Amino acid sequence: MKRREFIKLSGFWGAAGVAAPSVFLSGCASKPLPGSGDVTITPTVCDICFWKCAAHVHTENGRPWKIVGNVNDPHSEGRLCTRGTGGNGAYLDRDRLKEPLMRVSDGGKARFEPVSWAKALDVIAERMQSIASKHGNDRIAMLAHGSGGVHFERLLQAFGSHIYAHPSYAQCRGPREIAFALTYGEGVGSPDRTDMANSKCIVLIGSHIGENLHNGQVQILTKALNNGASLITVDPRFSVAASKSEHWLPIRPGTDIALLLAWMNVIINEGLYDHGYVERYTTGFEQLRDHVQPFNPEWAYLETGLKPEQIRKTARLMALHAPATLVHPGRHTTWYGDDTQRVRAIAMLNALLGSWGREGGFYIQENVTIPEYETPPIPKPKHDWKKKVQSQFPLAPSGISQEIIEAAIGDDAQVKGLFVYGTNLPMTIPNISEKLKQAADSLDLVVVVETQPAEVTGYADIILPECTYLERYDALRNAPERIPTLALRMPAYKPRYDSKPGWWMVKQLAERLDLGAYFPWNDYSEVLDWQLKQVGSSLEEMQRIGVKRFPRKTAMYFKPNEKRKFPTPSGKIELYSKMLAGNGFDPMPRYTPPEEAPAGFYRLIYGRGAAHTFGRTTNNPLLFELMPENTVWVNPIAAAEHKLLNGSYIKLKNQDGVVSNKIRVRVTERIAPNAVFMVHGFGHTSKKMRLTQGVGADDASLMINVKVDPISGGTGMRSNFVTFEKVLS
Ligand code: SF4
């Protein structure tokens, strides 16, 4: 089916209207003090990022007032971050999607037309059935990021399609999860099982906690520092975390494996490792000892630019506090294409320090066992879809988003239908726009479920407007962590416009597809009430308290000298990985020097800012006010060389000639002279995101040189270089 033309999101609402809602930022002139009216308090779980802090929504006289942390929630410690307190902006956003939209062709020109829910769902169900009858039931894929994705995943599995990926794997945490699984038999998980509250020494490698405002983690790091923990930060940028550090190691970008090998060299050769732990729990120590011998601090100095005495001093500091030393595993780990090996080196360093399963290192997570609502069993897949879609990554435990898109291109493509839930693919997966267009041209069905008119909606056949997290029930929060808890998200407001919750859309589709038996309830609150009653609570109780704590059933740390079998092939912590060797990969982390920048170019480093969660929040009016645009950090040496003035606008041009939108220069010594830094999530092109469209620059559009990690399939994005172009006024 060759029929798609990417629809730029301009004017597709037509007469449907985008008038500012009456509740939108209506001002505060001569009003009584907030809270003196009729106040209602409703529990929720924040969805502005994926940390999932429990909160209470306060409305006054039926209008939004404020959102505050739930004091019973150990995960958020009763506080929200800046973004979470701005959650009402998502509800109030005048630009949010308002009704189902369908692609129509008008005189050869494609546009979106508002349609009823019944029409939108009928068309989706018909096309799914048509794909099934022509190609089989197992040819529809899903790419998702966010809570409501689980409902669509279940629907597609009941239909017979299991092809599923979260961009949070191949574009973020994938290398970390696979590296720890290869070493310890299990990943770090989310929330991270780091026991920073009890750490005496914390090492952050490119992990900018404090700008990455994962709330509970920031609070715990602050507590640890107040308790006197030593902080070592490795970052070419003087980040917020670096500014709080006892040791800041401004490493040459791309040389982290060299530093990690040198640290292990010192710890092994000076006999500083945890001998008992290594002997009892690990396999492959001798191979590791031999492997690190050439990589002493003097060798590492030439690669990293870090002085040998600084490398030795920090290695000894880590060993001094072990096992209460945490070498943080990081979170966004897709950097240079050797990312699984880099994070494996981090995992191995932690093993030498004996910190996995120990107080102050990594604790053992636990969640609540809640039964599944009774339905017929989901039919087992007839074949392993990963062998067809991503066979070159046999060790990858999860779907790889860019491979699924690739598998949707062409007449004989494996993937024939695609659901996209809550993930703005063009700004999430580097260098994907062209492939996405080709895939959209080949696919028989593209459904996008979104709250806002993000760029990805332009590829859809049908756009389904989901109501925001403040207007719906979702599955219970049951994340594995220190204290098992359940938390409830429930509607604080009725859905605005003609938006609906994801569970409602799925239930309607299931009935059209004769799959209603998998969703045998009328309202999702029935599922929640049933599940809660199985664990001694109820929906009524959770509507009052929002968060319920449960006792732990297992120990949080290893017992002294405990015998332990790890879920690896050997039952030990694998310093030498036979699994990697058997699949043709280096069983030990190997250092490859990074590519050099072309003359006059600077390595592009990106990260988060405290006011936003990627591009998901830049059009949120409350958060936009806090940070309306991003800036590019440029060292004074580079600024002088290119005659750049602080505060002026420039454009960035990458090594392949791709030019960004204009972006303001921030001249600062906080970035290394050979690199630039910008916050991700700006530079939207969707004209329907009226606050943020065209404001700031999009880093993802400059990432043409993508280094795919051969082990995890993660897209390494830090191999791009930019120079500066003047903006003509
Ligand atoms: Fe919400 Fe902030 Fe918690 Fe994320 S860290 S869930 S944005 S309060």
pLDDT given for residue 146 in this prediction? 87
Residue nearest to atom 3 of ligand 1 (CA): 53
Q: pLDDT, tens digit, for every residue of 537-564?
A: 999 999 999 999 999 999 999 999 899 9
**Is the CB of 81 within 6 Å of ligand 1?**
yes
Question: Is residue 195 a contact partner of residue 359, using CB atoms and an 8 Å limit?
Answer: yes
Residue 404 host element (H or E): helix 401-406
Pairing status of strand 417-421 against strand 573-574: unpaired
Using only C-alpha atoms, the chain has a radius of gyration, in whole angstroms, of: 26
Query: What's the mean per-residue pLDDT of the chain?
Result: 93
The CA 53 to ligand 1 mean position distance, Å, reads 6
Whether pLDDT at 4 is above 60: no
Whether pLDDT at 335 is above 90: yes
Whether pLDDT at 570 is above 70: yes
Whether pLDDT at 11 is above 70: no
DSSP letter for 173, please: I
The CA 52 to ligand 1 mean position distance, Å, reads 6
Residue 727's Cα: distance from chain center in Å? Answer: 33
Q: pLDDT, tens digit, for every residue of 448-505?
A: 999 999 999 999 999 999 999 999 999 999 989 999 999 999 999 999 999 999 999 9
pLDDT given for residue 382 in this prediction? 86
Pairing status of strand 54-60 against strand 39-45: antiparallel
pLDDT given for residue 729 in this prediction? 62
- Summarize the confidence of residues 275-289 as an average pLDDT: 98
Q: pLDDT, tens digit, for every residue of 37-65?
A: 899 999 999 999 989 999 999 999 989 99
pLDDT given for residue 10 in this prediction? 43
SS3 letters across 239-296: CHHHHCCCEEECCCCCCHHHHHHHHHHHHHHCCCCCHHHHHHHEECHHHHHHHHCCCC
Give the nearest ligand 1 atom to 82 CA: 2
SS3 670: coil
Cα separation, 608 vs 220, in Å, equals 19
pLDDT given for residue 32 in this prediction? 76
Closest Cα partner for 713 from 149, 164, 146, 178? 178
Pocket test of ligand 1: the residue of 80, 214, 626 to mutate, having most ligand atoms within 8 Å of its CB, is 80
Cα separation, 299 vs 266, in Å, equals 12
Q: Which residues contact 354 (CB under 8 A, 6 or more apart)?
A: 273, 274, 276, 277, 278, 322, 323, 361
Which of the four pLDDT bands, split at 50, 70 and 90, describes residue 28? low
- Summarize the confidence of residues 14-35 as an average pLDDT: 51
Closest Cα partner for 581 from 595, 570, 593, 594? 570
Tokens of 503: 């569970």
Residue 308 host element (H or E): helix 308-321
Give the nearest ligand 1 atom to 80 CA: 8
pLDDT given for residue 6 in this prediction? 54
**Is the CB of 292 within 6 Å of ligand 1?**
no
Pocket test of ligand 1: the residue of 44, 45, 49 to mutate, having most ligand atoms within 8 Å of its CB, is 49
pLDDT given for residue 33 in this prediction? 81
Closest Cα partner for 362 from 322, 335, 333? 322
Question: Is residue 437 a contact partner of residue 6, using CB atoms and an 8 Å limit?
Answer: yes
Residue 84 backbone dihedrals phi, psi, to 5 degrees: -60, -40
Q: pLDDT, tens digit, for every residue of 506-518?
A: 999 999 999 999 9
Residue nearest to atom 4 of ligand 1 (CA): 49
Pocket test of ligand 1: the residue of 83, 614, 622, 627 to mutate, having most ligand atoms within 8 Å of its CB, is 83
Q: Would the CA dihedral through 84, 86, 90, 91 be positive or negative?
A: positive
pLDDT given for residue 209 in this prediction? 87
Q: List 708's β-bridge partners, or say none.
A: 715
The CA 86 to ligand 1 mean position distance, Å, reads 10
The CA 213 to ligand 1 mean position distance, Å, reads 7
The CA 166 to ligand 1 mean position distance, Å, reads 19
Share of the chain above pLDDT 70, in %: 96
The CA 383 to ligand 1 mean position distance, Å, reads 38
Give the nearest ligand 1 atom to 45 CA: 6
Whether pLDDT at 18 is above 60: no
Which of the four pLDDT bands, split at 50, 70 and 90, describes residue 107? confident
**Is the CB of 396 within 6 Å of ligand 1?**
no
**Is the CB of 54 within 6 Å of ligand 1?**
no
pLDDT given for residue 70 in this prediction? 97
Q: pLDDT, tens digit, for every residue of 188-243?
A: 988 899 999 999 999 999 888 888 888 888 999 999 999 999 999 999 999 999 99
| Amino acid letter, 290 | D
Which of the four pLDDT bands, split at 50, 70 and 90, describes residue 106? confident
pLDDT given for residue 7 in this prediction? 58
